[in-house]
Amino acid sequence: LNIHSTALYDAHDKRMGTLIIFHDITRIRLLESMHKDFAANVSHELKTPLTTIKGFIETLQQMMADSQSALTQDSAVQFGRFLGIIEKNVNRMVRLIDDLLALSKLERLKGTDIQFEAHPLAGLIQKVVRFCTDRAQSRGITMDVHCPDTISAMVDPTLMEQAVFNLVDNAIKYSGEGVCISINAELKDDNIEIQIKDTGQGIDAAHLPKVFNRFYRVDKGRSRDQGGTGLGLAIVKHIVQYHNGRIEVESRRGKGTCFTITLPGAAEMETASG
């Protein structure tokens, strides 16, 4: 129920009473919730046939490998190429559905659903970095991490890992060969700041305010080539907001980009030596 009240006065400014308006918003809330459930259901339903298609692609690839000699050289090449294209597109759809599902889950989360715990931040960041190392190395990108072992953050570790991963993953995707990505975490006035900074292609000022919007991509072609869905930063923003934090971005075209997550309620753990 939404309640608004306004004082009522007559022509001589004498108070006549109060107007109270009760607005029943049950239906609006119900429709919002149906809309969010719908997105989750559709995503689940789409995933099932895609999993079947993926299975058959793998079977066909295997059959082709087993019967190479039965095919002419040309048709074998064509077969392989077409199957590769189908596989790439199926994988793209799977990623898109996974991101849509993640976003729709986040939208339906209530504060009480989140499993906040005091978690060592260095471990969380290192885990993300380990996960991204192969891909970074294959592009000659180095990652430099600075995070004191003593910082502990009140987070849902799985969600915060996902947020940091999306930012590091973007830094790798949108930086050229051989650049350096630095990931720094520090305590600042009772808050924790996590910065993911790259020296990659950067983002024009005109695009900056929009990059957190769903499906917003500065360069659609490049994002697609890199396996992007346009949902990564929207997911990060939701996760950070659920932690009562904020996310900011600074960037200069051709110079690089820096994303800063600020989380409230910093805690410094006792070191082993006390």
- Residue ranges in contact with ligand ADP by CB under 6 A: 166, 170-171, 173-174, 198, 200-203, 211, 216-219, 223, 228-234, 257
* Shortest separation between residue 39's beta carbon and ligand ADP, angstroms: 17
* Shortest separation between residue 132's beta carbon and ligand ADP, angstroms: 13
* Shortest separation between residue 140's beta carbon and ligand ADP, angstroms: 17
Nearer to ligand ADP, 153 or 211 (CB): 211
DSSP string, the chain: -EEEEEEEE-TTS-EEEEEEEEE--HHHHHHHHHHHHHHHHHHHHHHHHHHHHHHHHHHHHHHHHHTGGGS-HHHHHHHHHHHHHHHHHHHHHHHHHHHHHHHHHHHH--GGGS--EEEEHHHHHHHHHHHHHHHHHHTT-EEEEE--TTEEEEE-HHHHHHHHHHHHHHHHHTS-TT-EEEEEEEEETTEEEEEEEE-SS---TTTGGGTTSTT--SSHHHHHHTT--S-HHHHHHHHHHHTT-EEEEEEETTTEEEEEEEEES-EEPPPTT-
* Shortest separation between residue 220's beta carbon and ligand ADP, angstroms: 8
* Shortest separation between residue 41's beta carbon and ligand ADP, angstroms: 23
**Distance from chain centroid for Cα 267:** 25
Nearer to ligand ADP, 254 or 264 (CB): 254
Nearer to ligand ADP, 136 or 233 (CB): 233
Nearer to ligand ADP, 76 or 90 (CB): 90
| Amino acid at site 225 | D
Nearer to ligand ADP, 121 or 167 (CB): 167
Rounded Cα distance between 132 and 41, Å, is 31
Nearer to ligand ADP, 152 or 242 (CB): 242
Nearer to ligand ADP, 239 or 266 (CB): 239
* Shortest separation between residue 16's beta carbon and ligand ADP, angstroms: 54
**Could you tell me if 114 and 158 are in contact, meaning their C-beta atoms sit under 8 angstroms apart?**
no
Rounded Cα distance between 259 and 123, Å, is 20
* Shortest separation between residue 56's beta carbon and ligand ADP, angstroms: 27
Nearer to ligand ADP, 231 or 263 (CB): 231
* Shortest separation between residue 94's beta carbon and ligand ADP, angstroms: 14
Q: What is the CA radius of gyration of the chain?
A: 25
